[in-house]
């Protein structure tokens, strides 16, 4: 079967090769909407797959790395990006930071833009809905690592928290503090993101194992989670509360503030991710801290091995244990 070229896309869409190139590189701010749709449709119809490595042949190295974080508002994303930037700086690399907002279209645009800028490699917290793009990059051996999330059918090295163990640690701690019922609060939307799925599923497994106790799951989107908590949370003494991430923590604390309920001495709380807020909020609550420095260091080192030595990663999924901090 004849390989589809950029010339074929230009012919099908009725525009110049230069226009197609601008579209593929994300430079279409001043492109007519009709032209953009014509090129987009031609790429889809012809199943055109750009060669990512070929774009970097002109300059073998730009000493630049790109990182695409899922949501820059997450404490984990900010802390990890800072560590990656430190490693880049120590080794003479620059870091370009992009925020995908868990938007697959935005993520795809950033990937194409960064590759057009000839970055040497990419670190991504994937949205999970650009499977074919990830696969093409992996198949063409473009230097790439994932953090926090993995794709089952994509051969890209992943560095992530052991989410199941983190929830079990939180659950066991709450039991040791005398919790008699349990409530899991987390963010949920149409994206089946690894941390959300693994943490919730582990809680449900523990609920099934301890079915003599009462368990509750409260979930909604970031914007609606506080309202959902106010509608569903059962304010019963000796409730052990697991907050799945920093967004869930803030939603719950907003609910506490707005409702005026008293949680001191009545409930026990564990939040996954160690926010600085945990050191000053009253009453104090426990957290599960991620080994951010270890995750960042190993992810960066693996990416650099691909960039500088073109070596294949030895391990596809690296999981790290979180540590409980009791306050």
Report the C-alpha gap between 123 and 66 in whole angstroms: 6
pLDDT of amino acid 62? 85
> Is the pLDDT reported for residue 192 higher than 90?
no
């609606």: which residue's tokens? Answer: 224
> What CATH code would you report for 163-289?
3.40.50.2300
pLDDT of amino acid 280? 84
Domain 1-48 falls in which CATH fold? Answer: 434 Repressor (Amino-terminal Domain) (1.10.260)
| Cα–Cα nearest to 218, from 236, 203, 208 | 203
Confidence of residue 56 (pLDDT cuts 50, 70, 90): low
Report the C-alpha gap between 249 and 228 in whole angstroms: 13
Report the C-alpha gap between 281 and 137 in whole angstroms: 44
> Is the pLDDT reported for residue 22 higher than 80?
no
Confidence of residue 260 (pLDDT cuts 50, 70, 90): very high
| Cα–Cα nearest to 297, from 63, 80, 64 | 80
Comparing 46-50, 94-98, 130-134, which segment has the lowest mean pLDDT? 46-50
User: 53-156+294-320 sits in which CATH class?
Assistant: alpha beta
What are the structural domain ranges in the chain?
1-48, 53-156+294-320, 163-289
Instruction: State the greatest distance between any 2 C-alpha atoms of the chain, in Å, as a whole number.
Output: 71
Report the C-alpha gap between 273 and 116 in whole angstroms: 34
pLDDT of amino acid 43? 86
Encoded tokens for 311: 């070596």
pLDDT in tens, 201-259: 999 999 999 999 999 999 999 899 999 999 999 999 999 999 999 999 999 999 999 99
> Is the pLDDT reported for residue 60 higher than 80?
no
pLDDT of amino acid 239? 96
Confidence of residue 8 (pLDDT cuts 50, 70, 90): confident
- Rounded (5°) CA angle 47-52-54: 115
pLDDT of amino acid 55? 54
> Taking residues 89-112, what's their average pLDDT?
93
Q: What is the DSSP string of 232-277?
A: H----SSEEEEE-SHHHHHHHHHHHHHH----TTTEEEEEES--GG
CA 262 from centre of chain: 34
Whether the Cβ atoms of residue 184 and residue 218 lie closer than 8 Å to each other? yes
Same fold, 53-156+294-320 and 163-289: yes
Comparing 45-49, 160-164, 292-296, 320-324, which segment has the lowest mean pLDDT? 45-49
Phi, psi of 311 (to 5 degrees): -90, 150
> Taking residues 139-158, what's their average pLDDT?
91
pLDDT of amino acid 3? 74
pTM value is: 0.81
Residue 230: exposure state from Cβ atoms within 10 A (0-12, 13-18, ≥19): middle
């Amino acid at each position: 079967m004849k390989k589809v070229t950029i010339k074929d896309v230009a012919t099908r869409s009725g525009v110049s090769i230069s226009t197609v190139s601008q579209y593929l590189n994300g430079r279409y701010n001043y492109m007519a909407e009709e032209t953009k749709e014509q090129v987009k449709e031609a790429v889809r119809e012809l199943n055109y797959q750009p060669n990512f490595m070929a774009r970097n042949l002109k300059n073998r190295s730009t000493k630049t790395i790109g990182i695409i974080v899922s949501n820059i508002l997450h404490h984990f994303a900010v802390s990890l990006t800072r560590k990656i930037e430190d490693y880049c700086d120590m080794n003479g690399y620059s870091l370009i930071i992009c925020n995908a907002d868990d938007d697959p279209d935005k993520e795809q645009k950033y990937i194409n833009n960064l590759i057009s800028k000839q970055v040497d490699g990419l670190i991504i917290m994937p949205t999970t809905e650009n499977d074919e793009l990830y696969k093409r990059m992996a198949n063409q051996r473009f230097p790439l690592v994932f953090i926090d999330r993995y794709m089952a059918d994509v051969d890209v090295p992943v560095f992530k928290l052991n989410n199941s163990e983190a929830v079990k640690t939180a659950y066991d701690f709450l039991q040791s503090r005398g919790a008699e019922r349990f409530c899991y609060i987390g963010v949920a939307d149409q994206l089946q993101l690894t941390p959300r799925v693994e943490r919730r599923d582990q809680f449900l497994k523990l609920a099934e194992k301890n079915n003599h106790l009462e368990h509750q799951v409260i979930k909604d989107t970031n914007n609606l989670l506080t309202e959902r908590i106010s509608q569903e949370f059962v304010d019963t003494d000796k409730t052990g509360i697991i907050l799945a991430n920093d967004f869930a923590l803030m939603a719950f604390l907003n609910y506490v503030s707005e409702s005026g309920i008293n949680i001191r001495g009545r409930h026990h709380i564990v939040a996954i991710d160690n926010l600085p807020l945990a050191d000053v909020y009253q009453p104090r609550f426990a957290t599960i801290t991620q080994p951010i420095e270890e995750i960042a260091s190993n992810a960066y080192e693996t990416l650099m091995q691909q960039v500088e030595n073109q070596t294949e990663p030895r391990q596809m999924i690296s999981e790290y244990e979180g540590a409980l901090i009791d306050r």
